[in-house]
Amino acid sequence: MTLDRAAVSARLDRVRAHSRGVGVDALLVTHLANIQYLTGFSGSAGAVVLLSHACLLVVDFRYVTAATAETAAFAGLVTVTTFQNSYDEALVEILLRKASQRVGIEAAYLPVSRFNALAAGLASRAPSPVPPSESVPILIPTERLVERARIIKDNAEVAILREAGRRLAAVAQVVPALVSEGRTERAIAVDIEVALREAGFSKPAFETIVASGPNSALPHARPTSRAVQAGEATVLDFGGVYDGYCVDLTRTVQLGAVSAAMQKLYAAVAEAQQAAIEAVRPGEAASAVDAAARSVLERHGLGEAFGHGTGHGLGLEVHEEPRIGRAIPRLPDERLQPGMVFTIEPGAYVPGVGGVRIEDDVLVTAGGCEVLTR
Amino acid sequence: MTLDRAAVSARLDRVRAHSRGVGVDALLVTHLANIQYLTGFSGSAGAVVLLSHACLLVVDFRYVTAATAETAAFAGLVTVTTFQNSYDEALVEILLRKASQRVGIEAAYLPVSRFNALAAGLASRAPSPVPPSESVPILIPTERLVERARIIKDNAEVAILREAGRRLAAVAQVVPALVSEGRTERAIAVDIEVALREAGFSKPAFETIVASGPNSALPHARPTSRAVQAGEATVLDFGGVYDGYCVDLTRTVQLGAVSAAMQKLYAAVAEAQQAAIEAVRPGEAASAVDAAARSVLERHGLGEAFGHGTGHGLGLEVHEEPRIGRAIPRLPDERLQPGMVFTIEPGAYVPGVGGVRIEDDVLVTAGGCEVLTR
């Protein structure tokens, strides 16, 4: 990723501010996407201890070379460190040595067993009796301290997502030609994934969905050996990872003459998507974007046929914040801000008729939004 | 998956016995691979409450149809249930209604936040004052209750893994022809993944590794835009998911005449792999298989060049138990038993020379082992 010192410095400081806000003076980051966000490190194991004056990236021997290379531009901001035994022992050592008092952990990700092992390690390794000037660090469950920073993309991220969206839209141009009579869903899915690679994506962002005919009525269908037939709609939902960032797109392709009912369904979903895109602007609640799509579908008598939310955030993960859905107690309903990137993907699924979903990715701008996948 | 009632019944009873053994009378299963093992359900969200007399599969509205279909053959053994609000509210309801006293949770997977939400839900929803005949369920961290069952494959699993291994070995036959001068690592990786699909795998089991020339010296390299050159070795590590089960294979392909040093490296790793395969038999410690490979490489002066373990279990996950590595305090060193399936993948990585890894999958049998990827 093209990540510069200034961006990393700003990210670290934003998360430090969020951490201070909940009263923790160190944050143990164990969720890999959050580690990558803070340090640029892209390995599949590691941990970060974020202190007020330092950011330690802890990796095992397999990743020392890669971590050192990936953080070379951030010397002084991010320090790579490794260990002999286990991650948890190393983390306990660091937390004791750095004398942090209140250590935040990522409660949405840290498993109970690791929490217990870290807590036991801190308790057993602390000096006994504790000198009056010190106290044993305690682990504080926290939520969304890094995610709240990630929800607003910085310039480097916007540039990557814009390029990724452009490339995904180009793949979407060639995809309808892959859907022809007699081809199986699985064969089409393979071709889409090859097209993604050829377009420069390092891998699919998720398992490609190709759902034809009756299968299109299932929002979470997997590709089967079913052959596409004329007169049917096929839902194609695919995405790719480009320079670490995920984009996601759905088209519903009609092969030959489809029924009037399917045409109506398509028109209604397209109208709902357009209404949702037009509702995107800074200051609006995420749930208002969902409501814009939902009210169009309800007006067409398709409220019950739209069983999922309107969209989800995109970034280092293919499902991240903000959630674009109904307002639900205890789940955040974000006010939209410039720099948020998410999908708009209303759908309608009618057993016996079929299903339609249309999905694009948008970036919230000062004046409204930019569609990244046009 | 071709899973019959008898297999499911045996799996449930094995895990119930393990649960009783640690003093819990209900087990909350939240790890998806464990849910699939116990019920056959293959969706991407869900939970299981395993009681002495019932097994409840809790899914959200998206998966009711799929879960009902996938468990149809296990009526009476597995009961599908859904809910209105959230998983955790539904689980609290069930645990209170079923009046379990000591509820095991999967501590290696359940995040701290869900543990706390469930514990708070149980405390707040319990009758107050608690009637003398009842008590509030408490959550007990447990480890490996389902994994200990999964470590021994039953007949249905062995049949799938044998077929998957046969198909992966067939892919391995065509893969060397993909490595030719001037082709990039990325292009070769795409071709391997297409070959996996054509061989009947539903998806790659992990991100395919193609590491050529100097990159072959990095055990965890990702495919780059580097073009393969004559006189080089290329490590190709790939796997597929077949009928839900993962297999995994590595070949090191030499293009043209390679250096004498590389040839020696190759011969030493091949010898180490053979020694490890010959060490596999029931009753042997997993660490003895690792030691067999390691001692060969040490004898060739390559002890330091072999920085990872010799293998890992295969099944519903591409990395599962048993771990085939050095004996380490606090990590299980399993005694091998018939029905265990794992990789044997010694390697040697020498900066400036290159790397070699050779990997096959074996099934422990009564008399020794069967190589599944020949």
Residue B126: predicted pLDDT: 63
| Interchain pair B220, A44: CB under 8 A | yes
Residue A248: predicted pLDDT: 97
Query: Which residues of chain A neighbour B145 with C-beta distances below 8 Å?
Result: none
- In chain B, the residue whose alpha carbon lies closest to the alpha carbon of A111 is B111
A138-142 and A102-106: which strand pairing?
parallel
For the segment B215-225, what is each residue's pLDDT rounded down to a tens digit?
998 877 889 99
Query: Which residues of chain B neighbour A44 with C-beta distances below 8 Å?
Result: 220
- In chain A, the residue whose alpha carbon lies closest to the alpha carbon of B30 is A111
Q: How far is B114 from chain A (nearest CA, A)?
A: 7
The minimal CB distance from B61 to the residues A108, A143, A307 is found for A307
Half-sphere exposure of B224 (CA within 13 A, CB side): 14
pLDDT category at B129 given cuts 50, 70, 90 is low
Instruction: Taking the CA atoms of B113, B115, B118 and B124 in sequence, report the sign of the dihedral they define.
Output: negative
Half-sphere exposure of A246 (CA within 13 A, CB side): 20
Interface with chain A: mutation pick from B112, B144, B185, B196, highest number of A CBs within 10 Å? B112
Query: Which residues of chain A neighbour B61 with C-beta distances below 8 Å?
Result: 307
Q: How far is B252 from chain A (nearest CA, A)?
A: 20
* Residue A63 touches partner B, C-beta closer than 8 Å: yes
| Interchain pair A220, B307: CB under 8 A | no
What is the maximal distance between C-alpha atoms in chain B? 81
For the segment A313-368, what is each residue's pLDDT rounded down to a tens digit?
999 999 999 999 999 887 889 999 999 999 999 999 998 889 999 999 999 999 99
pLDDT category at B134 given cuts 50, 70, 90 is low
Q: Which domains occur in chain B, in start order? A: 5-149 (3.40.350.10), 151-371 (3.90.230.10)
For the segment B224-276, what is each residue's pLDDT rounded down to a tens digit?
999 999 999 999 999 999 999 999 999 999 999 989 999 999 999 999 999 99
The minimal CB distance from B110 to the residues A112, A218, A307 is found for A112
Tokens describing residue A270 = 């397209």
For the segment B175-209, what is each residue's pLDDT rounded down to a tens digit?
999 999 999 999 999 999 999 999 999 889 999 99
* Residue B84 touches partner A, C-beta closer than 8 Å: no
Work out the average pLDDT over B276-288.
98
| Interchain pair A111, B116: CB under 8 A | no
Residues contacting B344, CB < 8 A, separation 6+: B273, B276, B277, B280, B289, B293, B310, B311, B324, B359, B360, B361, B362
Q: What is the CA radius of gyration of chain B?
A: 23
Distance between alpha carbon B113 and the CA centroid of its chain, in Å? 25
**Rounded distance, CA A80 to CA A368, Å?**
41
| Interchain pair B62, A193: CB under 8 A | no
Residue B127: predicted pLDDT: 64
Whether the per-residue pLDDT at A133 is higher than 60: the answer is no
Query: Which residues of chain B neighbour A143 with C-beta distances below 8 Å?
Result: 113
ipTM of model:
0.88
Residue B128: predicted pLDDT: 63
Q: How far is A196 from chain B (nearest CA, A)?
A: 10
| Interchain pair A111, B113: CB under 8 A | no
**Rounded distance, CA A215 to CA A224, Å?**
9
